[in-house]
Amino acid sequence: MAGTPSGLGDVITDKRQLVAYLDSGSKPADQWSIGTEHEKFVFHRDSLAAPAYDGPSGIRALLEALAADYGWTPVLEGDHPIALTRGKASVSLEPGGQFELSGAPVATLHETEAELLNHLQEVTAIGDKLGLGFLGAGFNPLATRAQVPWMPKGRYAIMKAYMPKVGSLGLDMMLRTCTVQVNLDYGSEADMVKKFRVSLALQPLATALFAASPFTEGRPNGFQSFRSNIWTDTDADRCGILPFVFEDGMGFERYVDYMLDVPMYFVYRDGKYIDASGQNFRDFIDGKLPALPGERAHVGDFIDHLSTVFPEVRLKKFLEMRGADAGPTKRLLALPALWVGLLYDTTALDAAWDLVKGWTPEDHATLRTSVPARGLATPFKGQTVREVALTMLTIAREGLRNRRRFNGHGEDETHTLDALFAIAASGRSFADDLLEAFHGPWQGDVRKIYDERAF
């Protein structure tokens, strides 16, 4: 969700400018990269409470200490540091202070692993100084909505006011969820469409494999991935499985048309967010936006608008995989591994398309609605999601093997999927492990998760 406003760019006079913007993301395969993003909950080690922005051990102090000790450059909104940059990587804040690393684009999963471990080492070292800990899970297992402080970002204030108008769980999405995702490239419009279709169809399988949000306010909530369920009642205008992606005529222009019909959140001008929630971007192009009468939309405004939709796969100048709960370190690395294996090798992509091309709109809808609660045990086309996931993982492993990207020890990238193969083989998700601990050694005390499962 996090992002910084884009530059204004040219005034939009023709929809073709927006199509060209998406098309400009096309690049040859030897330039494809891997950009991994992951969020984690921050908590005070003494009270387990989510820290406020201000205060001696608040989120601002965490950002400032990272900048001072590890060479990150603060990004300010007013006088508030709200993000950090270092090279092509950034650290940003979700609305409830969830801490996100947006990794630099890298060529191999070995580099992703090194970046991930280095980041966790840095934040843990700062956390030790400030009395803060970090938890990888899909949903805050303990805090109520009211107990989570809001971060001082202008776009979040607009979303906070708008969310209750369009769904019942949008504020929970903002304050109490964490995800891990990966941004991947495409070579052409046709390549984008094929990757979009494959990844969108298989996203519920990732949800099942990465399920890690079985608790709400200290008790089991009946879901494997409550985080995933939250998106089903956040905002129907900007979430979901996008059936048009599987229809004839899908391409950059079709996605632009979708975006132009999604209600706006804001316009960013002169360092401020202007509330345009619920208004129409087409009116903005015509200079008829009620929030800014007479002001014409620029390409940069459209780029900002692209960041305000939340389907299971999102298109910018790359494709974002958005279906997974955050979790432990090895499973964070497994998320980019899964999608790189499926999408960055031609043979694997063809095999993955063969797996899903016969699925109907009803099949997609069934998976999306059933998997958050039933996870790997979800029945599907005479099998279970667990069995289909094993097939998917086998394809992904061959895709990684075919890439032939080796580390200094001569290992290829296939080991990065080991954690997922273990889950699919056993049929036990991280959520299942957490529930077993809750009913067993934790004796019903979900606070134990902060001792045993924190980074």
* Residue 280 pLDDT level (bands cut at 50, 70, 90): very high
In whole angstroms, give the CA distance from residue 364 to residue 360: 6
Question: How would you label 50-66 residue by residue, b for 16+ Cβ within 10 Å and e otherwise?
Answer: bbbbeeebbbbbbbbbb
Interval 219-261: pLDDT, tens: 999 999 999 999 999 999 999 999 999 999 999 999 999 999 9
* Residue 1 pLDDT level (bands cut at 50, 70, 90): low
In whole angstroms, give the CA distance from residue 5 to residue 45: 34
Q: Are 315 and 366 in contact (CB under 8 A)?
A: no
According to the model, what pLDDT value does residue 452 have?
87
Across the range 390-406, mean pLDDT stands at: 98
Q: Are 308 and 238 in contact (CB under 8 A)?
A: yes
In whole angstroms, give the CA distance from residue 51 to residue 57: 7
Across the range 112-120, mean pLDDT stands at: 97
Share the mean pLDDT of the chain. Answer: 97
Across the range 201-220, mean pLDDT stands at: 98
pTM of the model as a whole: 0.97
Nearest CA among 171, 195, 245 for reference residue 32: 195
Looking only at the bridges linking them, the beta strands covering 239-240 and 219-220 are: unpaired
Interval 299-345: pLDDT, tens: 999 999 999 999 999 999 999 999 999 999 989 999 999 999 999 99
Query: Is 3's pLDDT higher than 60?
Result: no
According to the model, what pLDDT value does residue 455 have?
86
